[in-house]
């Protein structure tokens, strides 16, 4: 059953997110989902640009789309090491700003 509400109360666990993302990859194919990821990142860029000009924007929605696509990219590229890179870069940023 599909919920058409923009803000659904259902919270997904990380495992549920991975199952859903795997189903999307299997349903639409790797190439299609990689193109979709590029499109969603472009939409986020546009939303951020628009937010600089006026208060009406959909940055939150586009961030959510990109986060979902990032999960799919991690699955497709078998990128289990992303968390290590993320921690490294956060530590580097912390050192720069503290």
Of residues 42 and 9, the one with the higher pLDDT is 42
Q: What is the pTM of this model?
A: 0.86
Count CB atoms within 10 A of the CB of residue 17: 14
Q: Is the dihedral of CA 7, 11, 12, 14 positive or negative?
A: positive
pLDDT in tens, 23-56: 999 999 999 999 999 999 999 999 999 999 988 8
Whether residue 66 contacts residue 45, with contact meaning beta carbons closer than 8 Å, is answered with no
Whether residue 44 contacts residue 62, with contact meaning beta carbons closer than 8 Å, is answered with yes
Checking if the pLDDT of 89 tops 80, the result is yes
pLDDT class for 6, splitting at 50, 70, 90? low
The pLDDT value recorded for residue 1 is 41
């Amino acid at each position: 059953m599909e919920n058409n509400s923009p803000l659904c109360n259902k919270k997904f666990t990380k495992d549920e997110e991975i199952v859903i993302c795997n189903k999307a990859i299997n349903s639409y194919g790797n190439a299609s989902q990689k193109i979709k990821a590029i499109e969603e990142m472009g939409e986020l860029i546009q939303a951020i640009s628009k937010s600089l000009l006026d208060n009406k924007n959909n940055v939150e929605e586009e961030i959510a789309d990109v986060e979902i696509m990032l999960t799919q990219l991690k699955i497709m590229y078998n990128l289990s090491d992303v968390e290590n890179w993320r921690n490294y870069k956060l530590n580097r940023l912390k050192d720069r700003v503290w």
